[in-house]
Amino acid sequence: MRLDLLDIRKRYGEHVALDGVTLSLPEMRTLALMGPSGGGKSTLLRIIAGLEIPDAGSLALDGDTVQSDEEYLLPYRRRIGVVFQSFNLFPHLTALGNISLPLEKVHGYSPDDAATYAMQLLSRFQLAGHALKIPAHLSGGQKQRVAIARAVAIKPRLLLFDEPTSALDPEMTVEVLDLISELRSEGRPILIVTHEIGFARKVADQVVFIDGGRVLEYGDAAGLFESPETPEMRGFLDKVLRY
């Protein structure tokens, strides 16, 4: 997938979240967005997802410029799978319903077809035995796997993960990272915001380092982790890898 960002800007009141982000990746595969908290990573992810509209600049996927009007964004969002750190599951629906209901209401599946497909995904992600449980009765790792199954169910052109393990304990973190690694091995275009440096080293093909709302470095993951060019990225890696 080709990703092009040109002078993307976004502010919330006095806070400048993105300050002229420009980036061109002719072949985006598994891309890790990294940088200190508050640097603009999640804002950029939400703009790519069509959930936020930039104040200025342009975004294109595979050469198609993303428009800012709702008539364009509604079908666009239907093709982007997003997994949030807080799961964002419907609390009153079962795991099965959290996957099948969007397939019915948004993607035109019949109730029977939606339920059948949802069960196939739950089985694949080792969740079949939890299909009729509501989120309150699931562990954090199980909730996140349901959220990932829901994102995969729509057959997205791009999968986005916003700090998918930040609310999980270490054992559950491994479960979710293993699942993302499996999806990556299928060749799906993936963009992930993460502080899991070891995981990013293992699965990311490309890395974008964002600080202060600007892209300071990007390129091949192995090269950037071995020899970061900017003092900001060197300092960031020194801090997160210290212990």
Q: What pLDDT, in 10s, does the model give residues 122-181? A: 999 999 999 999 999 999 889 999 999 999 999 999 999 998 888 788 878 888 888 888
pLDDT of 224 above 80: yes
Contact between 119 and 155 (Cβ < 8 Å): no
Q: Tell me the CATH architecture of domain 3-12+26-87+157-240.
A: 3-Layer(aba) Sandwich (3.40)
Q: Tell me what pLDDT residue 156 has.
A: 93
Q: What is the mean pLDDT of the chain?
A: 92
Percent of the chain with pLDDT over 70: 100
Q: Work out whether the CA dihedral 134, 143, 157, 124 comes out positive or negative.
A: negative
Q: Tell me what pLDDT residue 165 has.
A: 84
pLDDT of 61 above 90: yes
Q: Tell me what pLDDT residue 44 has.
A: 96
Q: Tell me how long the chain is.
A: 243
Q: How many CA atoms lie within 13 A of 235 on its CB side?
A: 7
pTM assigned to the model: 0.92
Over residues 79-83, the mean pLDDT reads 94
Q: Tell me what pLDDT residue 243 has.
A: 63
Q: How confident is the model at residue 86 (pLDDT cuts 50, 70, 90)?
A: confident
Token digits for 189?
């275009």
Site of tokens 């959290």:
98
Percent of the chain with pLDDT over 90: 75
Over residues 84-100, the mean pLDDT reads 93
Q: How many CA atoms lie within 13 A of 176 on its CB side?
A: 30
Q: Tell me what pLDDT residue 174 has.
A: 83
More confident residue, 83 or 176: 83
What pLDDT, in 10s, does the model give residues 178-205? 888 888 888 889 999 988 888 888 889 9
Token digits for 188?
């799906």
pLDDT of 242 above 80: no
What residues contact 218, with CB distance under 8 A and at least 6 apart? 23, 25, 206, 207, 208, 209, 224
Over residues 22-40, the mean pLDDT reads 93
The dihedrals phi and psi of 71, each to the nearest 5 degrees, come to: -60, -35
The dihedrals phi and psi of 56, each to the nearest 5 degrees, come to: -160, 165
Q: Tell me what pLDDT residue 9 has.
A: 97
E strand or H helix at 236, and its extent?
helix 231-240
